[in-house]
Every structure is written in structure tokens, then in C-alpha cells.
Amino acid sequence: MYAKAFFNEDASGMSFDAITVSPYMGQDTVNSYLSYPGKWVILLALTSSAGSKDFQYLETNQGFLYETVIQKANTWAGADRMMFVVGATKSTEFTNIRKFAPDNFLLVPGVGAQGGNLEEVCRYGMTKDCGLIVNASRSIIYASNGKDFAEAAGAEALKIQLQMENELEKAGII
Ligand SMILES: O=c1ccn([C@@H]2O[C@H](COP(=O)(O)O)[C@@H](O)[C@H]2O)c(=O)[nH]1
């Protein structure tokens, strides 16, 4: 039902391109989203939160639980349908994650207010095509609580955009 609500415009008036999903309920639940052609699933893998240690770093037969999540989920759909959430606060882990997800887009929250390092995220996580979708929210929307909030938000967004552009230029992607 959630998949229908978010992906089927006739049913709900909404037709999002992608949705972030917890892997916790397993393949059948994730498949309900994958059954919509052309839509993307963004699976939580290694989150930016301190609480990531509670479950995501539990040891399994295949390494940490988040590594198992990535490996298993990559048998459910290809990199053209499946992305993973990896927090920018875990920038040094990106090298390891790329062993399991060499081609998947990674959705990367945690720059800005959470203090993640964009330069490191790019150094360790960027593919030859970039492969990163970096998100910042509070640092932009709360850049100012004055009357200049729109200009301040624009300036903050531009700052991150220019940093990203710099990284793409360094990597020879643009
Ligand atoms: O690992 C995760 C997964 C999701 N989030 C969400 O992303 C945004 C980040 O907002 P900021 O203000 O840039 O910190 C927020 O909606 C989180 O719930 C995340 O931060 N980390």
C-alpha cells in the first residue's frame, strides 16, 4: 500500500521517483517498491546517526550487518534501481562500502549541520560517474532566522554546490 501511495499517481496523486526504505522488513517489502518500473529504492545501509552503532555494526557471518544489507540487497535489484543511504559522518567507511556497492548511487546525508566532510566523502566514495547524491537540509533552511533567510539559504546552498563542483572538477567528471 505504501508503494502504491508514493509511486502510483492514479491512486494517490503522487508519483515520486524514489523512496528511502528500511531493509529491516526484508525482500518482500522492498520488492513491493521495486515492482514499479523505473522507480528507485534507496535502502538505509550505514546511517549518519550515532545510533548506527546499535544495529548496523552488529557482526554477521558476512561482516557488519550494514555490509550484509548491501550485499543481499544487490541481489534483489541492480544498481539501476537500488541506491544506499550512507551518512557523510562515516566518510572513511566509503572505501569499504564501495567494495560492496561499486556502481550504486549513494544518498549521502550528513554534510552541513551534522558536520560530515564533503571532501572526504568524495575522496572515498566517488565513482568515475560521481555516484553520490549529497543532501543538506538544516544548514540551508536555517541559515538565518532573520528577514534575509532566503538570501542566506541561497548562499549556503551555493557554497555546497561550489564545493561539489570543485570535487567533480578534481575528479575530471566536469
Ligand atoms: O543516515 C541518515 C539518513 C537520513 N537522514 C535524514 O537526512 C536529513 C539530513 O538533514 P540535515 O539537516 O542536513 O542534517 C534529515 O531529514 C535526516 O532525518 C540523515 O540525516 N541521516
Q: Does 21 score more than 90 pLDDT?
A: yes
**Does ligand 1 have an atom closer than 6 angstroms to the CB of 47?**
yes
Query: What would the pLDDT profile of 105-162 be if each residue is shown by its tens digit?
Result: 999 999 999 999 999 999 999 999 999 999 999 999 999 999 999 999 999 999 999 9
Query: Does a structural domain hold residue 72?
Result: yes
**Does ligand 1 have an atom closer than 6 angstroms to the CB of 52?**
no
Ligand 1 center to 138 CA (angstroms): 9
pTM: 0.96
**Does ligand 1 have an atom closer than 6 angstroms to the CB of 48?**
yes
Instruction: Quote the domain boundaries for residue 11.
Output: 2-137
- H/E run at residue 18: strand 18-21
- ipTM of the shown complex: 0.98
Query: Does a structural domain hold residue 51?
Result: yes
Q: How many domains does the chain have?
A: 1
Query: Does a structural domain hold residue 41?
Result: yes
Q: Are 46 and 99 in contact (CB under 8 A)?
A: no
Q: Which residues pair with 60 in a beta bridge?
A: 63
Write a three-state SS string for 70-111. Answer: HHHHCCCCCCCCEEEEECHHHHHHHHHHHHHCCCCCEEEECE
Ligand 1 center to 110 CA (angstroms): 6
Please identify, by atom number, the ligand 1 atom nearest to the C-alpha of residue 136.
13
Query: Does a structural domain hold residue 48?
Result: yes
Q: Give the residue from 78, 90, 81, 71 showing the smallest Cα distance to 23.
A: 71
Ligand 1, pocket-test mutation among 52, 84, 137, 156, most atoms within 8 A of CB: 137
Query: What would the pLDDT profile of 46-84 be if each residue is shown by its tens digit?
Result: 999 999 999 999 999 989 999 999 999 999 999 999 999
Query: Does a structural domain hold residue 150?
Result: no
Query: Does a structural domain hold residue 142?
Result: no
Looking up residue 101, the CATH number of its domain turns out to be 3.20.20.70
Query: Does a structural domain hold residue 147?
Result: no
**Does ligand 1 have an atom closer than 6 angstroms to the CB of 116?**
no
Ligand 1 center to 88 CA (angstroms): 10
Q: Categorise residue 115: left if φ over 0, alpha if ψ from -120 to 50, beta otherwise.
A: left
Residue with CA closest to ligand 1 atom 3: 47
Query: Does a structural domain hold residue 118?
Result: yes
